[in-house]
């Protein structure tokens, strides 16, 4: 006789029962490991559909569950540093159903954003801000006599920035009721910056440390009282650079390190910490990419991923198109080529070796490569010190990160007329990463600095040429180039410079002259073909080609400036100023990024939104002519002249 095998009851995922942290806190503690597993699986699925930051989120799944389980969010404040690790947080805070819109136009932001959710207590994008923000919230809660807790979650890479330690120092002085969680996954973005624990281990094992220690022994061993004092001092100094004692000495109650993937331990620890008064510091150790083997093995490569596309049928395979190099790769190759020619060249990056493509340079010129960690201010002043000694430092930095070193750029480099070249990556809008990472302001904040050279190459060839021009220039210089690939114009791989401050006419037309700054030249050329306009590739914002500008202004009815930078104070403003100074009156349209933040969308959509594509440029010109001659319904473009 056969017994009927009972049918397995359908399994209802716990994640389907948890739309918000209040529902999460309604679960039994024994159910949380299952929820964490489902959350990790859902994160793998959702980011595979949309692309985005990946490895960091996988590493904090258990921590995210534990935090929302123990703390009464959003009344209690969670402040995520950078935001790379906040995707699990978004899923658990009423946004799981719209995760498919992540990093898309009108969808979820790539980082925590205050107007997106009350659970996003602080908008982030740049690193090392969480402790300062959480401290501000904790102090305000005390002033208002509100019983809420504030938690800052910061990665070990972000702990390399001075701002984090400034906040820790102040928090201890204020004796604020707050918790700082150090997520030590031995990874920032670049491996060689490393985890805090490895960094400290290197200090303890360094030749310098042992040389000082042995030298002290030899000198003081014959004087017992002095040697005993030195021995105690040595132990104290050693303790100062071990994480626990370091933060204890700074005024925090240090707890850890503990396993950041041990959910019961996290729950138990956070439950105890929440009841403690004063500044607390919890050190957890996690694995970036936890639960996804490729990300665990290659945390750099899986820091962020693009959308996973289904494989095409082999029978319908399209012929492979030749890959165009990214602008960052153009820079990386130029850096190696110039380093081979000039031994004074030194390369500096604030923890962006991979992003700025200094990988090959770091391998070939190890002694001339300097990764300063997430410390943009230090990167700029380090370069200034090197330039004082006759070297030619090149600072490879994203436009959005250069903002953090602006005081040093003025005070330490420009005022002292030092030879520092700034290779400014991700200039202009950056698509899905949104306004926190957009390089919209560098033209405006650079051109107001006396003697600063500001160059805007239109393609790959000009990028190489202008990098050489800036490197050979005596004084501070900058070259800005966008994210992604260029038009495929790389032909000249020499190290020849171009004439300083010299633009060129790339198309001759009539009535309208379009002055293009940078890679928007392609849109300008397309628009000009339809309306038979003149196009000038201006190349230099500062020094500007005033001879070319005056020539165009006196031979055309209308000038149109086009730049992928903010209109206010940008290259178009520079044109207006030069014309006024020369006493020339001519109508000018300034096309650029308007006075608002451009939200996440594809780069193509962002250009269209700002009127920086060919259609937008043509529409701006048509509106102007329509306004001048109201009797005509539409501007009649002149027929292009045949050559």
Encode pLDDT of 222-239 as tens digits. 555 554 555 555 554 444
Which sign, positive or negative, has the C-alpha torsion 36, 40, 46, 52? Answer: positive
pLDDT value of position 222? 55
Give the other-Cβ count within 10 Å of 247's Cβ: 22
Given a cut of 70, is residue 633 above it in pLDDT?
A: no
Q: Is 390 exposed, middle or buried (0-12, 13-18, 19+ CB in 10 A)?
A: exposed
- What is this structure's pTM? 0.79
**Going by C-beta distance under 8 Å and a sequence separation of 6 or more, which residues neighbour residue 241?**
200, 203, 204
**Going by C-beta distance under 8 Å and a sequence separation of 6 or more, which residues neighbour residue 557?**
511, 512, 586, 587
307 is catalytic: no
pLDDT value of position 385? 93
The SS3 assignment for 253 reads strand
- Region 132-149: mean pLDDT is 93
pLDDT digits over 406-454, tens only? 999 999 999 999 999 999 999 999 988 888 889 999 999 999 999 999 9
255 forms bridges with which residues in the sheet? 282
Least confident of 81-85, 270-274, 612-616, 626-630: 626-630
Least confident of 112-116, 597-601, 625-629: 625-629
Query: Does 342 or 106 have the greater pLDDT score?
Result: 342
Q: How far apart are CA 371 and CA 358, in angstroms?
A: 10
- Region 269-284: mean pLDDT is 92
376 is catalytic: yes
Confidence of residue 107 (pLDDT cuts 50, 70, 90): confident
Confidence of residue 149 (pLDDT cuts 50, 70, 90): very high
Three-state SS string over 500-561 comes to CCCCEEEECCCCEEEEEECCCHHHHHHHHHHHCCEEEECCEEECCCHHHHHHHHCCCCEEEE
Catalytic residue among 77, 95, 288, 368: 288
pLDDT digits over 239-274, tens only? 444 566 778 778 888 888 889 999 999 999 999 999
How many secondary structure helices (H) and strands (E) does the chain include? 25, 19
Q: Is 407 exposed, middle or buried (0-12, 13-18, 19+ CB in 10 A)?
A: exposed
Confidence of residue 124 (pLDDT cuts 50, 70, 90): confident
Q: What is the mean pLDDT of the chain?
A: 84
Three-state SS string over 202-248 comes to HHHCCHHHHHHHHHHHHHHCCCHHHHHHHHHHHHHHHHHCCHHHHHH
Long-range contact pairs involving 159-163 (C-beta distance under 8 Å, separation at least 24): 159/128, 159/196, 160/188, 160/193, 160/351, 160/373, 160/374, 160/375, 161/127, 161/128, 161/373, 161/374, 161/375, 162/375, 162/377, 162/378, 163/128, 163/129, 163/132
Given a cut of 50, is residue 1 above it in pLDDT?
A: no
pLDDT value of position 191? 40
Confidence of residue 44 (pLDDT cuts 50, 70, 90): confident
* Cβ–Cβ under 8 Å, residues 53 and 110: yes
Name the pairing type of β-strands 540-542 and 504-507.
Answer: unpaired
Distance, first Cα to last Cα, the chain: 96
Catalytic residue among 77, 149, 353, 376: 376
Catalytic residue among 404, 426, 447, 483: 404
- Closest of 568, 157, 221, 611 to residue 374, by C-alpha: 157
- Closest of 386, 393, 323 to residue 358, by C-alpha: 393
pLDDT value of position 194? 40
Q: Is 507 exposed, middle or buried (0-12, 13-18, 19+ CB in 10 A)?
A: middle
**Going by C-beta distance under 8 Å and a sequence separation of 6 or more, which residues neighbour residue 226?**
220
288 is catalytic: yes
């Amino acid at each position: 006789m056969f017994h009927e095998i009972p049918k397995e009851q359908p399994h209802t995922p716990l994640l389907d029962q948890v739309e918000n942290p209040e529902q999460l806190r309604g679960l039994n503690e024994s159910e949380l490991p299952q929820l964490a597993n489902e959350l990790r699986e859902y994160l793998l699925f959702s980011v595979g559909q949309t692309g985005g930051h990946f490895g960091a989120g996988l590493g904090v799944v258990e921590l995210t569950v534990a935090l929302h389980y123990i703390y009464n969010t959003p009344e209690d404040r969670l402040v995520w540093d950078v935001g790379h690790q906040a995707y699990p947080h978004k899923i658990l805070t009423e946004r799981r159903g719209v995760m498919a819109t992540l990093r898309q136009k009108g969808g979820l932001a790539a980082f925590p954003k205050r107007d997106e959710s009350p659970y996003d207590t602080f908008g982030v994008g740049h690193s090392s801000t969480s402790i300062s923000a959480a401290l501000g919230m904790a102090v305000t809660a005390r002033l208002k006599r509100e019983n809420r807790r504030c938690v800052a979650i910061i990665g070990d890479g972000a702990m390399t920035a001075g701002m984090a330690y400034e906040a820790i120092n102040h928090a201890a002085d204020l004796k604020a009721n707050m918790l700082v969680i150090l997520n030590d996954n031995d990874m920032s973005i670049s491996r060689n910056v490393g985890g805090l624990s490895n960094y400290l281990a290197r200090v303890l094992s360094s030749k310098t440390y042992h040389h000082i220690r042995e030298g002290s022994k030899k000198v003081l061993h014959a004087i017992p009282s002095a040697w005993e004092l030195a021995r105690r001092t040595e132990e104290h100094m050693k303790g100062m650079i071990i994480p626990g004692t370091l933060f204890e000495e700074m005024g925090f109650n240090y707890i850890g390190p503990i396993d950041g993937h041990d959910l019961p331990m996290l729950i138990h620890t956070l439950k105890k910490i929440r009841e403690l008064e004063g500044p607390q510091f919890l050190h957890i150790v996690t694995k970036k990419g936890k639960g996804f083997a490729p990300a665990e093995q290659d945390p750099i490569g899986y820091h962020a991923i693009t959308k996973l596309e289904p494989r095409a049928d082999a029978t319908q395979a399209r012929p492979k198109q030749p890959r165009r190099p990214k602008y960052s790769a153009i820079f990386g190759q130029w850096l190696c080529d110039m380093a081979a020619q000039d031994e004074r060249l030194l390369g500096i990056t604030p923890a962006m070796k991979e992003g700025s493509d200094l990988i090959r340079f770091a391998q070939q010129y190890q002694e001339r490569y300097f990764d300063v960690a997430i410390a943009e201010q230090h990167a700029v002043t380090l370069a200034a010190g090197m330039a004082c000694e006759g070297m030619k430092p090149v600072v490879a930095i994203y436009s959005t990160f250069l903002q953090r070193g602006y005081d040093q750029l003025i005070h330490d480099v420009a005022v002292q007329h030092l030879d520092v070249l700034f290779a400014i990556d991700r200039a202009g809008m950056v698509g899905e990463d949104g306004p926190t990472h957009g390089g919209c302001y560098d033209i405006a904040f650079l051109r107001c600095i006396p003697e600063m050279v500001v160059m805007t190459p239109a393609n790959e060839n000009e990028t190489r040429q202008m990098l050489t021009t800036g490197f050979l220039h005596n004084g501070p210089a900058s070259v800005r180039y966008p994210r992604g690939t260029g038009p495929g114009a790389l032909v000249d791989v020499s190290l020849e410079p171009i004439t300083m401050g010299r633009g060129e006419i790339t198309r001759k037309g009539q009535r309208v002259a379009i002055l293009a700054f940078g890679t928007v030249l392609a849109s300008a050329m397309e628009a000009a073909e339809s309306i038979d306009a003149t196009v000038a590739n201006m190349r230099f914002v500062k020094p500007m080609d005033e001879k070319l500008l005056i020539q165009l202004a006196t031979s055309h009815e209308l000038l149109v400036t086009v730049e992928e930078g903010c209109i206010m104070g940008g290259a178009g403003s520079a044109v207006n100023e030069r014309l006024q100074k020369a006493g020339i009156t001519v109508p000018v349209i300034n096309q650029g990024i308007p006075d608002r933040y451009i939200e996440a969308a594809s780069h193509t959509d962002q250009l269209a939104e700002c009127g920086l594509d060919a259609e937008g440029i043509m529409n701006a010109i048509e509106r102007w002519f329509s306004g001048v001659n109201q009797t005509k319904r539409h501007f009649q473009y002149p027929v292009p002249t045949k050559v």
